[in-house]
Structure 1
Amino acid sequence: MNAPFIRNHQYNLIKKQAAMVQRACNTVADPKVVESVRYSAQSKIVEALPEASEDQRLALEKIVALQTLGDFGQYLRELESDLIGFQPVTDKQIKKLFPKIKKLKVPDLAAIDLRFVTYLGWTDIATSKLFLVYARSGQLFGIEGRFTPTNKKGTCFLCNRQEEVALFSAITKSKPANASSDYYKAIGNYVCVDSGVCNRNITDVAALERFIQDIGGSSR
């Protein structure tokens, strides 16, 4: 039995490619075009998981043979057993990431299926703040920032999809060598209002990891 090898954002990419192949099968009459879409999807999926073993790669490459709606559904369900869940985390660990927040409200972790989580994100309406927790190489990173809803759709900088967004502004901890004691710099981006939606959309963690690096998020 294979060990889990697919992270949530990679699974989302696989779902996206599977949907494109399924749509081509249903709407395109030219078999050559459909075949091209199939092998393009296969290539993108394999490229997204370069460390997959031979057996794992064979499981991923089954996308080229899928025909019916049932085939696509079974393909994705089988891959769910290969998902690497978000790093197990406790309320105490999360609170240590935000030591200045004395009454931090932590989400109900027991109610979250960590297989489908790239980052933990939640808002505190009372303080108009958004909190993000991300795990990388066994280390947890936490970022907090001002959360200002726009009440309109826009492109989320994390998942790159059109969703209802809010402006997320966080203060970077890095300072120029000659900066004064009261120096600060805020970095703002538009992010999905609903972190659950964002986690279902995100197919690449580059923007998230770059943001954490730029802000200098707290780590444990």
Structure 2
Amino acid sequence: MQAFMTNANYHFILKQAMNAFYGAQNTNDEGVKNALRFSCIDKAQAIFESLEPEQEQLIGEIFHIHSEEELAQFDERLQAFLLPFPIVTDMTVKKLFPKAKKLKAPTLPDAEMERLVFLGWNDTGAQKKFIIANHDGKLTGVQGNFIPVSKKGICAFCHQNERVGLFKADIKAKGNTDNFRAIGQYICADSLVCSAHVQSTDRLDAFIRELKS
């Protein structure tokens, strides 16, 4: 079986496996336990437009997780079918951000880079954040001003309560090339933490699409 899940897919499926396992600990009713397991399997499979029988069977193993050891083993099996995030080099960064002089890619081990949902980093001196993500089938880069806030908040991308900041960029107003409008989102200040929690790229994709429109 070939790799078929993105890192965001993996995060979501593993979360459903954890929900099924730990949720089943709260009841002695086998019917309730099985209903929960089937519900989590359905949710995990529903994120794909279609699945091969072997892929359905892999996700269906959630039903048979009855110990933390089996949960860890399921996690390992999932990781064998991950689609890696592309390795980002300085040349990649130069191509995606041609106007940002002397900008370099963050230094990450290849194994860590491959597990990203998206790559993001801050230029604290310039108060900017740069993001590289797979969007519409290709690597895409966006940048904007980034102003951290003093309190934790809910990140628009990963939906976790983390240290966040306002990522804001100016885009041309439709129908008028001389006017610009600002769009922004409160997102994690630490993009590595954010990427490790993203279970769906819908919000990220929508934000990039708006920035690129």
Normalising by the residue count of structure 2, what TM-score does the alignment of the two structures yield? 0.93
Q: Which residue identity does 2:34 align to in structure 1?
A: E
d(CA) in 2 for partners of 1:48, 1:114: 23
Distance 2:85 2:173 in 1: 31
Distance in 2, Cα, partners of 1:131 & 1:107: 10
Provide, for residues 113-144 of structure 1, a one-character-per-residue CA deviation record: whole Å limited to 9, x for no partner: 23321111000111111000012354221110
Give the counterpart of 2:173 among 154, 172, 175: 175
Q: Is the 8 A contact 2:93 2:104 kept in 1?
A: no
Name 2:99's counterpart in structure 1. Answer: 100
Within the alignment, does 1:184 sit opposite 2:180 as a pair? Answer: yes
Matches within 5 A, 1:27-66: 27-66=26-65
How many residue pairs were aligned? Answer: 213
Paired letter, 2:127? S
Instruction: Compare 110-119 and 74-83 and name the one that shifted more.
Output: 110-119
What is the aligned partner in structure 1 of residue 88 from structure 2?
Answer: 89
Match of 2:202 in 1: 206
Are residues 60 and 160 of structure 1, via their aligned partners in 2, closer, same or farther at CA, if it must alter by over 3 Å?
same
Structure having greater relative contact order (Cα 8 Å, sep ≥ 6): 1
Tell me the secondary structure at the aligned position of residue 3 of structure 1. Answer: coil
CA 109–125 in structure 1, closer or farther in 2 if over 3 Å, else same: same
Which residue pairs with 1:132 in the alignment? 131
Alpha carbons 2:87, 2:110 under 8 Å: kept: no
Matched residue, 2:148: 149
AA of the residue aligned to 1:9: A
* Amino acid corresponding to residue 175 of structure 1 in structure 2: A
Tell me how far apart the structure 2 counterparts of residues 35 and 180 of structure 1 sit (CA, whole Å): 57
Structure 1 residue runs of 5 or longer lacking an equivalent are: none
Change (3 A) 1:53 1:155: same
State the Cα deviation string for residues 6-33 of structure 1 (Å, max 9, x = none). Answer: 1011111012111111212322222222
Structure 1 pair 96–26 and aligned structure 2 pair: CA distance change class (3 A): same
- The runs of at least 4 aligned residues of structure 1 exceeding 4 Å deviation read none
Q: Are the equivalent residues in 2 in contact too, given 1:156–1:192 (CA < 8 A)?
A: yes
Q: TM-score, normalised by structure 1?
A: 0.90
Q: Tell me if the contact between 1:167 and 1:191 (Cα under 8 Å) persists in the aligned partners.
A: yes
Structure 1 residue 101, shift from structure 2 partner:
1.0
Shift of 1:213: 1.0
Cα root mean square deviation, aligned? 1.7
Structure 2 vs 1, CA of residues 112 and 194 (structure 1 numbering), >3 Å: closer, same or farther?
Answer: farther
Q: Counterparts of 2:163 and 2:32 in 1: how far apart (Å)?
A: 34
How far did 1:47 drift?
0.6
Q: Show the counterpart of 2:16.
A: 17
Q: 2:109 — aligned with what?
A: 110
Structure 2 gaps, min length 5: none
The answer as to whether partners of 2:169 and 2:211 remain within 8 angstroms in 1 is yes
